Amino acid sequence: MAEGVQIYSGATDKGLEGVVACTTGVSSIQDNTLSFRGFTIEDLAENSTFEEVTFLLWNDRLPNSSELKEFKNELSKNMVIDENFFQVLKQIPTQKVHPMAWLRTSVSLLSHWDVQAQDNSETANRSKGIRLVAQMGLLVCAFEAIRNGKPMPQPNKDKSLAWNFMYLLHGGVEPKTEHVKIFDLCLILHADHELNCSAFATRVTTSSLSDLHSAMVSALGALKGPLHGGANEAVMVMLKRIGTIEKAKQFVQDALQAKEKVMGIGHRVYKNGDPRAAILRKLSQKLTLDMGEPQWYQISTLIDETMFKEKGLMPNVDFYSATVYYSLKIPVDLYTPIFAVSRISGWIAHAMEQYANNRIYRPRGQWVGKKDQKWTPIEKRNT
């Protein structure tokens, strides 16, 4: 499987664009369509749940009814944070700290409370995977509770991961059924995306036969960056800075003239539009109208259409997810951590695939530095 990045005798590609680094059966992007284990994202978004998609990513097939029930029960049983661990979490600074940095540290600490942390057997990794998926949302909600000095509500183990996240995030207020369904859909859309930056980070760490928690920490570090998971947060910051529909077109024109990046627009792989963005655009239109703030969708579409007209670029998944999350009353700086709540299912699938047929990643670098240098005594060196 992972034979390492191919080495070419010619020029290298920046960012390894177009370089095949491994074989995978987890997800694929072909003909401008994203598929998980052969199922299109449109099919799964229409019919599935996040729990079912997680099972699919890990097992290469959809579960039957008894398997799905058992899988959901396992997730529910592990939807708990040890009280001693929670007390440690309260000691991690939350002010002037990006939530992704806090989450990265929390997941690393979580391994100290996992008795199987150093066990790399398939059985142990699946058990750890269940716990990590079940607890990632709890960690994000714990951050929100701790930084606001509020108690952490107890999850309802009879409800889904999406329901519990919305419930816990908003301090124990029961979420609307429609909002839970939409948030569950967002989790599905973000669950995996072929060999993206954080998935590659997962596989590189896994290839050294490091433990699963370490691989997840590597992935979180990669996801934190504004060119990867941080883009959805940056989109909402951009929209709020623009403020009104009247200012949107000028903003785009100024950005183009200054050759500045417009966040959430363009994609390294999709050249004819991100299929996830098409789904989220419809949700954004409905939700912003429902909340009485349609201007966020209107500004977004104006940017979308102007960028396509001027540069031929289309929005990616981050662009419309920003206004969807905003409409669900999710704090802007939690958009990237929510990405992790979903994407951990895909990261674990990649780790499992890597463990199953492993070879450590060891690419080469094309030398562009000086040659034939000779050491000289310090008194003879020119400064």
Per-residue tokens: 169: 């995030």
> What are the distances in angstroms from CA 281 to CA 51, 236, 244, 278?
24, 14, 19, 5
Please give the residue range of the domain that contains residue 191. 24-224+342-356
Nearest alpha-carbon partner for 27 in 278, 314, 276, 316 = 276
DSSP 27: E
In a domain, 273, yes or no: yes
In a domain, 375, yes or no: no
Segment 124-129 mean pLDDT: 98
pLDDT at 11 over 70: no
pLDDT computed for residue 2 by the predictor: 39
In a domain, 35, yes or no: yes
DSSP code string of 324-373: HHHHTT--GGGHHHHHHHHHHHHHHHHHHHHHHT-----------S--S-
In a domain, 118, yes or no: yes
Q: How many domains is the chain partitioned into structurally?
A: 2
Burial 104-138 (b: 16+ CB within 10 A, else e): bbbbebbbeebebbeebeeebbebbbbbbbbbbbb
On whether both 296 and 238 belong to a single domain, the answer is yes
Position 383 confidence tier, pLDDT thresholds 50, 70, 90: low
Parallel, antiparallel or unpaired: strands 39-40 and 27-30: unpaired
pLDDT at 9 over 70: no
Angle 106-112-118 from CA coordinates, rounded to 5°: 120
In a domain, 98, yes or no: yes
Distance, in Å, from the CA atom of 331 to the CA atom of 164, rounded to the nearest integer, reads: 17
pLDDT computed for residue 178 by the predictor: 97
In a domain, 361, yes or no: no
On whether both 135 and 281 belong to a single domain, the answer is no
On whether both 293 and 309 belong to a single domain, the answer is yes
The catalytic residue positions are: 267, 318
Angle 165-166-172 from CA coordinates, rounded to 5°: 100
On whether both 52 and 167 belong to a single domain, the answer is yes
On whether both 162 and 185 belong to a single domain, the answer is yes
In a domain, 246, yes or no: yes
On whether both 199 and 303 belong to a single domain, the answer is no
pLDDT (tens digit per residue) in 257-292: 898 888 889 887 887 889 999 999 999 999 999 999
The CATH number covering residue 255 comes to 1.10.230.10
Structure pTM? Answer: 0.92
Position 195 confidence tier, pLDDT thresholds 50, 70, 90: very high
Distance, in Å, from the CA atom of 124 to the CA atom of 117, rounded to the nearest integer, reads: 8
pLDDT computed for residue 79 by the predictor: 97
The CATH number covering residue 179 comes to 1.10.580.10
On whether both 29 and 172 belong to a single domain, the answer is yes
Percentage above 70 pLDDT, the chain? 96
On whether both 245 and 157 belong to a single domain, the answer is no
On whether both 71 and 105 belong to a single domain, the answer is yes
On whether both 71 and 48 belong to a single domain, the answer is yes
pLDDT computed for residue 382 by the predictor: 82
On whether both 282 and 145 belong to a single domain, the answer is no
On whether both 193 and 97 belong to a single domain, the answer is yes
pLDDT computed for residue 3 by the predictor: 40
In a domain, 41, yes or no: yes
Kind and range of the H or E run holding 34: strand 33-36
Provide the 10 A C-beta neighbour count for residue 370: 6
Answer yes or no: are the C-beta atoms of 47 and 288 closer than 8 Å.
no
pLDDT (tens digit per residue) in 299-329: 999 999 999 998 999 999 999 999 999 999 9
Please, which residues have CB within 8 angstroms of residue 308's CB and are 6 or more apart in sequence?
314
